[in-house]
Structure 1
């Protein structure tokens, strides 16, 4: 367990020299990063929350209690692999309204009635009209061309068709092109944006990268504190301000990361509904200011989507892409919905690289998207048993 996160002013050698920020864009005074000479005279507006050293306390049982303690110790349940967690997380999509794919493919005869039921099931899974029609037409063609006879053969054909649709979304995020590599992260409130930032920090650290977090969501109450908690859990630095302008916070964070030779900057931004055009413009301003702090940035613009919203995800992708130029997607909460087919809808109507998907609350339950892995988990017949076993161990 990490110790409490201590907030202290950055050391003079840890911060970049003062950089004049175009106040026409930011709309606030010069950025909070200050030069070493001024550090002694006044405290900077930016808090750089340094990771605290972990405190270790030794607990010695009283005399005569050692045996009792030894008897009550229970070995922790083995951690499920990512593949097992993915299968368990997609169980609701697999067993969706209308009997689910498992019951549907229990029918042994292939006919137009089966195809119609399958069409309704795909629509309920939020595959969307376009992707559903494509899949049904493809199945009908394969049925006649390959002379499919059993429902199992039809299920395999459906899996192949779905893989063909979503495979182009599988594009790994490469970080080696810049230092720091600036990732701007956007999304509506409740999408899991800030939580995803914490999980991404853990993932990048596992890849051997140093990470800095910028608490640019200065609009939502407690967003700053939530991100600082994730910084404590991951043992990384968080740059934050009490209120203030989001663009200024991120500007300062980029300068601090450059001075410290940090590999990755994860910049949180305020949650915005795509219909709030005046607030979307504030996020667009953040993107412009990032480009002023680093002319090559941002190097990735990730949009976090909640899988529970189904077809509304398409509207969000289009609106945010228009405002800030989305370069990649993160789809969260696939374990809490029966609408995992939205990935097919995105692939057909507004394709963007799907960098990561999330299927749980754990810090490592956000992983790179693999199309074949996703399809195999979706059509895995024994995945329900995996989920039941996972629930039992909890």
Structure 2
């Protein structure tokens, strides 16, 4: 448990450090005052927590401060954790296998979101858990995407179904589904294309992949996850809405949180969409993809140690 929390803490260091820097280390031992509340408000906005969440946190801290003028920064941080836990209640995605193998996860998102890398890391996680998995390289529009997934497959010793650049992505998905079914694999992870600038084409391609998978299993893909670049912050909300309207998302994966000070965006994204968050990316190594934990996330961004 502690080592998992350390991953959250290390991965969200930039977000916590940005808040701490703007508040002159408020979450250390010093007392709250009017100036520090202003600093905290600016820090929470900068970390992309959004208006609603920032307001809730500040109001609760002000209420506590009126009751206890000796309120210290560490106590304010704990109030922040409590508010985040309340706002994020219900946001942890629980991964349930389908009734019939394989359980199919379609990874969706714009180019550059970390979709292909996340596909490989997720496959690695399943393999480490003793489950069998195959990856489908369905981003056939980009040669780099297919080669990248093949490279990950070689490195992690994971089965992959791929074709040449420009191949029919739905045909690749169909072949992968047949292979996974025939071999009794537990999971099939489909890496899809992400060229949002030709939105109509992309949405039709995703719909075609879905239709083809459903020829083998009418319930597939059982999970439809949007991979969101965490460094884009709340700017990714509109992007998510487009995919959700067209494809009916069932979950989110938020990547690249280790490289941004805008880790608060997770809260805004969940508030807006109410789509569960299954995993977050906290680094570049395969095991840096971690199941989302409200507890660990909330404590890490406010610098509260795991109990």
TM-score (norm 2): 0.90
**Structure 2 contact 77–304 (Cα < 8 Å) conserved:** no
- Name 2:302's counterpart in structure 1: 379
Find the residue that maps to 1:167 and give its secondary structure. coil
Instruction: Answer yes or no: is 1:296 the counterpart of 2:219.
Output: yes
Instruction: Answer yes or no: is 1:168 the counterpart of 2:90.
Output: yes
Instruction: Answer yes or no: is 1:253 the counterpart of 2:176.
Output: yes
**Which sits farther off after the overlay, 262-271 or 101-110?**
101-110
**Structure 2 contact 278–292 (Cα < 8 Å) conserved:** yes
Task: Tell me the distance in 1 between the aligned counterparts of 2:33 and 2:97.
Answer: 49
CA 1:255 to 1:90, structure 2 compared with 1: closer, same or farther past 3 Å?
same
Residues 334-379 of structure 1: CA distance to partner in whole angstroms, max 9, x if unpaired? 1100000011111221121111111111111101111111122223
User: 1:1-394 alignment to 2 at 5 Å?
Assistant: 81-96=3-18, 99-101=21-23, 103-105=25-27, 108-144=30-66, 149-175=71-97, 177-242=99-164, 243-273=166-196, 276-380=199-303
Task: Tell me the distance in 1 between the aligned counterparts of 2:72 and 2:198.
Answer: 47
Give, in angstroms, the shift of residue 85 of structure 1: 2.8
Give, in angstroms, the shift of residue 161 of structure 1: 0.9
CA 1:102 to 1:90, structure 2 compared with 1: closer, same or farther past 3 Å?
farther
Displaced runs of 4+ in structure 1, greater than 6 A? none
Higher relative contact order structure (alpha carbons within 8 Å, sequence separation ≥ 6): 2
Task: Tell me the distance in 2 between the aligned counterparts of 1:317 and 1:152.
Answer: 35
CA 1:209 to 1:160, structure 2 compared with 1: closer, same or farther past 3 Å?
same
Query: Would you tell me which structure has more helix in proportion to its own residues?
Result: 2
Find the residue that maps to 1:96 and give its secondary structure. helix
**Structure 1 contact 246–286 (Cα < 8 Å) conserved:** yes
CA 1:350 to 1:101, structure 2 compared with 1: closer, same or farther past 3 Å?
farther
CA 1:81 to 1:192, structure 2 compared with 1: closer, same or farther past 3 Å?
same
Which structure has the bigger radius of gyration? 1
Give, in angstroms, the shift of residue 98 of structure 1: 8.1
Calculate the aligned-residue CA RMSD, in Å: 2.4
Residues 103-154 of structure 1: CA distance to partner in whole angstroms, max 9, x if unpaired? 2345844344433321211110011122222322333334445776222222
Find the residue that maps to 1:302 and give its secondary structure. strand
- Name 1:51's counterpart in structure 2: none
Task: Tell me the distance in 2 between the aligned counterparts of 1:143 and 1:164.
Answer: 20
Task: Tell me the distance in 2 between the aligned counterparts of 1:351 and 1:266.
Answer: 23
Give, in angstroms, the shift of residue 245 of structure 1: 1.2
Question: Unmatched 5+ residue regions in structure 1?
Answer: 1-79, 384-394
Question: Unmatched 5+ residue regions in structure 2?
Answer: none
**Which sits farther off after the overlay, 284-293 or 206-215?**
284-293
CA 1:196 to 1:296, structure 2 compared with 1: closer, same or farther past 3 Å?
same
TM-score (norm 1): 0.71
Query: How many corresponding residue pairs?
Result: 304
